[in-house]
């Protein structure tokens, strides 16, 4: 299949994300990983990358649909993680034979049978806990926990297919890019980042709903699952129909649309945030995260995405407030750092001099 997707960064120059094929993952040869002392891991480029160049196509390790009224909603994604396409009712989508929850569906018989082993892992848990969690804790906590269960379900399927890949740390260290569970295992995120009350609430959720049991046979201890929640919360992406990170949007600005899914990506999660990003990102029709350069990027430059819709939080104070509340880090991007320096210089200028005192 050869499909052309246009990502519009400004109305005059459409960026062409060319021929996204069926290849699973793709990383541009100039894209490298390095470490920043403040931000941690980051993407850089080792050579010039021109505007419009595709830099990354990354398959999700786990995805959940985020839709209202799943029974009638054609935005519901196929549960087979190798597919993730829309499961359209009129094209004969299939619900779970055990009727676990209406949010689970497959676009075809092939996808359903391919996904049988992985889905079996989540099915009993969903049937038993989805209703009570939704009723007692609400949709956000349910989605967060289901994403954790789906991460564990993919790990479960990965262990069956290639058990060595889950535990062979020496071999994994030799790889340039980590794959599979090893990549998820190395995601940033720790309990220290979160408020005490938040950690306590997650600890209770782990104890009540996510510990190793017959309904959830993951074999990991409660501390590791709590750490996985912290990793998921620091690294998951909302999936939206239009691109995130366009700086010069058309007038009037076009937002990125309604969220239809949430996902965790092994490689895309290395990207740090910038309020002046040089990458736009958008999921393709299979839920793979696609990064495209939104301007020319010079050798050695950091490549950043925007973690939120820049059309919604335009001024400095609303950006900072949103980052602090939703992402829990003080932004150290080029724009925020230079605004900080300007602010400090203005404050110094406004202070009375010694002669005036
Ligand atoms: C999705 S991860 C990005 C990769 C991460 N740097 C790592 O080491 O794996 C998000 C985390 O990176 C850090 N980060 C990302 N963008 C940042 C920014 N603009 N300023 C400071 N820290 C940032 C924060 O710790 C944030 O919670």
Per-residue pLDDT of 248-257, as tens digits, reads: 666 767 789 9
Our answer on whether the CB atom of 203 is closer than 6 Å to any ligand 1 atom is no
> In sequence order, which ranges of 176-239 are alpha helices (DSSP H)?
180-185, 196-205, 222-235
For residue 2, is pLDDT > 50?
no
Our answer on whether the CB atom of 39 is closer than 6 Å to any ligand 1 atom is yes
Report the pLDDT value the prediction gives residue 139, as an integer from 0 to 100. Answer: 97
- 32: preceding bond cis by omega (within 30 degrees): no
User: If you measure from the C-alpha of residue 341 to the centroid of ligand 1, how many angstroms do you get, rounded to a whole number?
Assistant: 21
Helix (H, G, I), strand (E, B) or coil at 335: helix
Site to probe by mutation for ligand 1, drawn from 33, 34, 37, 40 as the one with most ligand atoms within 8 Å of Cβ, is: 40
What average pLDDT does this structure show over 164-177?
61
Our answer on whether the CB atom of 276 is closer than 6 Å to any ligand 1 atom is no
Please state whether beta strands 105-106 and 94-95 pair in parallel, antiparallel, or not at all (unpaired).
antiparallel
Alpha-carbon distance of 288 to 282, in angstroms, equals 8
Q: 6 - beta bridge partners?
A: 16
The dihedral sign for the CA sequence 315, 319, 321, 322: positive
Q: 17 - beta bridge partners?
A: 5
Q: Are 217 and 305 in contact (CB under 8 A)?
A: no
User: If you measure from the C-alpha of residue 232 to the centroid of ligand 1, how many angstroms do you get, rounded to a whole number?
Assistant: 13
Helix (H, G, I), strand (E, B) or coil at 194: coil
Q: Are 259 and 238 in contact (CB under 8 A)?
A: yes
What the block records as the tokens of 7 is: 């990502």
Helix (H, G, I), strand (E, B) or coil at 232: helix
pLDDT band at 7 (very low <50, low <70, confident <90, very high): very low
Atom of ligand 1 nearest to the CA of 328: 27
Q: 272 - beta bridge partners?
A: 304
For residue 284, is pLDDT > 60?
yes
For residue 159, is pLDDT > 50?
yes
Inter-CA distances, 24 with 21, 63, 115, 201, 287, Å = 8, 15, 17, 37, 11
Q: Are 266 and 180 in contact (CB under 8 A)?
A: yes
User: If you measure from the C-alpha of residue 272 to the centroid of ligand 1, how many angstroms do you get, rounded to a whole number?
Assistant: 5
Helix (H, G, I), strand (E, B) or coil at 43: strand
Q: Are 303 and 99 in contact (CB under 8 A)?
A: no
Alpha-carbon distance of 198 to 201, in angstroms, equals 5
Report the pLDDT value the prediction gives residue 52, as an integer from 0 to 100. Answer: 96
Q: Are 55 and 48 in contact (CB under 8 A)?
A: no
Our answer on whether the CB atom of 269 is closer than 6 Å to any ligand 1 atom is yes
Alpha-carbon distance of 183 to 272, in angstroms, equals 16
Per the rule left: phi > 0, alpha: psi between -120 and 50, beta: everything else, 16 is: beta
Question: Which of 75, 9, 74, 105 has the alpha carbon at shortest distance from 239?
Answer: 75
Helix (H, G, I), strand (E, B) or coil at 41: strand
- Angle between helices 196-205 and 222-235 in degrees, nearest 10: 120
pLDDT band at 39 (very low <50, low <70, confident <90, very high): very high
Q: For 90, which DSSP code? A: G
Our answer on whether the CB atom of 319 is closer than 6 Å to any ligand 1 atom is no
Predicted model pTM: 0.89
Our answer on whether the CB atom of 235 is closer than 6 Å to any ligand 1 atom is yes
User: If you measure from the C-alpha of residue 305 to the centroid of ligand 1, how many angstroms do you get, rounded to a whole number?
Assistant: 11
Report the pLDDT value the prediction gives residue 351, as an integer from 0 to 100. Answer: 67
User: If you measure from the C-alpha of residue 92 to the centroid of ligand 1, how many angstroms do you get, rounded to a whole number?
Assistant: 42
Give φ, ψ of 302 to 5 degrees: -75, 145
The percent of residues above 70 in pLDDT, for the chain, comes to 85
Q: To the nearest whole number, what is the mean pLDDT of the chain?
A: 88
Domain boundaries, the chain: 62-237
For residue 107, is pLDDT > 80?
yes
User: If you measure from the C-alpha of residue 329 to the centroid of ligand 1, how many angstroms do you get, rounded to a whole number?
Assistant: 8
Alpha-carbon distance of 267 to 58, in angstroms, equals 7
For residue 170, is pLDDT > 90?
no
The CA angle 74-78-79, to the nearest 5 degrees, is 135
pLDDT band at 167 (very low <50, low <70, confident <90, very high): low
């Amino acid at each position: 299949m050869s499909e052309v997707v246009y990502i519009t960064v400004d109305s005059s120059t459409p960026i062409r994300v060319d021929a996204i094929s069926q290849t699973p993952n793709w990383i541009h040869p100039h894209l490298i990983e390095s470490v920043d002392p403040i931000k941690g891991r980051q993407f850089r480029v080792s050579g010039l990358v021109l505007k419009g160049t595709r830099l990354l196509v990354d398959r999700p390790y786990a995805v959940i649909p985020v839709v209202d009224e799943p029974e009638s909603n054609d935005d519901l994604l196929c549960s087979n993680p190798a597919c993730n396409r829309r499961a359209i009712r009129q094209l004969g989508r299939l619900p779970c034979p055990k009727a676990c929850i209406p949010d689970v569906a497959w676009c075809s018989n092939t996808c359903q049978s391919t996904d049988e082993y992985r889905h079996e892992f989540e099915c009993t848990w969903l049937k038993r806990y989805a209703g009570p969690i939704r009723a007692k804790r609400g949709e956000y906590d349910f989605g967060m926990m289901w994403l954790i269960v789906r991460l564990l379900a993919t790990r479960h399927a990965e262990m069956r297919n290639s058990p060595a890949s889950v535990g062979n740390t020496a071999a994994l260290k030799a790889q340039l890019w980590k794959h599979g569970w090893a990549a998820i295992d190395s995601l940033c995120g720790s309990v220290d980042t979160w408020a005490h009350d938040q950690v306590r609430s997650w600890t209770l959720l782990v104890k009540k709903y996510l510990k190793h049991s017959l309904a959830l046979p993951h074999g990991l201890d409660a501390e590791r699952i709590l750490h996985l929640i912290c990793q998921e919360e620091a690294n998951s992406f909302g999936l939206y129909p239009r691109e995130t990170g366009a700086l010069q949007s058309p007038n009037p600005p076009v937002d990125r649309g309604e969220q239809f899914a949430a996902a965790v990506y092994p490689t895309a999660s290395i990207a740090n945030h910038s309020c002046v990003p040089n990458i736009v990102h958008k999921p393709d029709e299979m839920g793979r995260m696609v990064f495209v350069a939104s301007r020319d990027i010079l050798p050695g430059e950091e490549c950043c995405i925007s973690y939120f819709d820049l059309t919604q939080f335009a001024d400095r104070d609303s950006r900072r407030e949103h980052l602090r509340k939703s992402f829990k880090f003080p932004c150290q991007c080029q724009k925020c750092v230079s605004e900080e320096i300007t602010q400090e210089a203005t404050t110094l200028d406004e202070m009375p001099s010694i002669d005036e005192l």
